[in-house]
Amino acid sequence: MWSAEGPINDDRDIEKWPRTQTPPGLCEFDGVIADIPICRDRADRIGARPFPSRPREKALDVEEEVPLAAEPWELRRQGCGDQGRHRPAAGLTPRAAQAIAFRLFINAVAKGRSPCSEAPMPLYTPPAFREDRPEILLRLMRGSRLPLLVSNGANGLPDITHLPLLTDGVRIVGHLARANPHWKALRENPRALAIFPGPDGYISPSSYASKAEHHRVVPTWNYEAVHAEGPVEIVEDAARLHEIVSTLTDHHETPRAARWAVSDAPADFIAGQLKGIVGVVLTIEALIGKRKLSQNRPPADRDGALEDVSQDNAALADAMRAAREGN
């Protein structure tokens, strides 16, 4: 992380920095105005267009919800094209969406490339299927049933653990069994990729209207996924572990009528259970999303696939419907 005057090391700095200084230039990231103080030569190198300075604004409290691209700026970065304007989805605070966009933007800038370019992450994403909107990425990550944590392992093979993960758009938290050697490898090489799979399913060419026209169709597989990359911290402190398991439990118990809480169990029992796990906290430095939901098919084919999938795969049908509506 960097700025015109030095590194940004704290989330509170992320919130306050853009609003307490007069920026020498403004850039837009997918509809989010990132008024980050960057030196002009850096801005020119990534294709950002400089704009007049803004008046000094009141410092924001880290918990304050602020509008996402509230000002009616009509800015366009060179080379990005029109990627649309968007607002936070229901249930997502603007601050969380802004935090994701900020990290995506600053990660690209720090590596000396345009934020519009393909992220150097191992996920093949044709333009039709790429998802960069921060509110959608967060929605997909929070809705994923069982993510994967992947890191470099011994003998050229990756270490992979399936585990529940939860994110606020800035950090990803979870825990591993202490008996799982993966956490020790992460302590030695503390960087990982968290993979958040979404709904998926088979798409039969029989559902396409174009099949009756020319038969030049083949099957495919639709799916959604988000990859998040960054440094990992291993947590062994009992208090922080208690917070992690409580947060995960509360999240998954929320839809239930009869909710269970960690505090329902005896304190000494929970203390003993915590000794058998270690926490993991991944700070997001790069995100890439893919939604392969028949966007590349003609409208009639897309409608036919959606109708067919709706018969036995409601989750995928909902995803395809949302994508068709631009959500």
Residue position matching structure tokens 């398991």: 245
Find all residues with CB under 8 Å of 65, minimum gap 6, and list them.
Answer: 93, 94, 95
Residue 320 C-beta-side C-alpha neighbours within 13 Å: 28
Instruction: Provide the 10 A C-beta neighbour count for residue 237.
Output: 11
Question: For the segment 27-58, what is each residue's pLDDT rounded down to a tens digit?
Answer: 433 333 333 333 333 333 333 333 333 333 33
DSSP code of residue 41? H
Pull the structure tokens for residue 112. 């000396």
Q: How far apart are CA 319 and CA 327, in angstroms?
A: 9
Find all residues with CB under 8 Å of 38, minimum gap 6, and list them.
Answer: 3, 4, 23, 24, 25, 27, 48, 109
Q: What is the pLDDT of residue 154?
A: 84
Q: Which of the following CATH numbers is that of domain 127-324: 1.10.287.10, 2.30.110.10, 3.40.1190.20, 3.40.50.2000?
A: 2.30.110.10
Q: What percent of the chain has pLDDT over 90?
A: 61
Domain map (residue ranges) of the chain: 11-110, 127-324
Res. 123 pLDDT band, cuts 50 70 90: confident
Higher pLDDT, 4 or 47: 47
Q: 129 with 291: CB under 8 angstroms?
A: yes
Q: What angle do CA 106, 139, 186 make, to 5 degrees?
A: 60
Find all residues with CB under 8 Å of 1, minimum gap 6, and list them.
Answer: 7, 8, 9, 106, 110
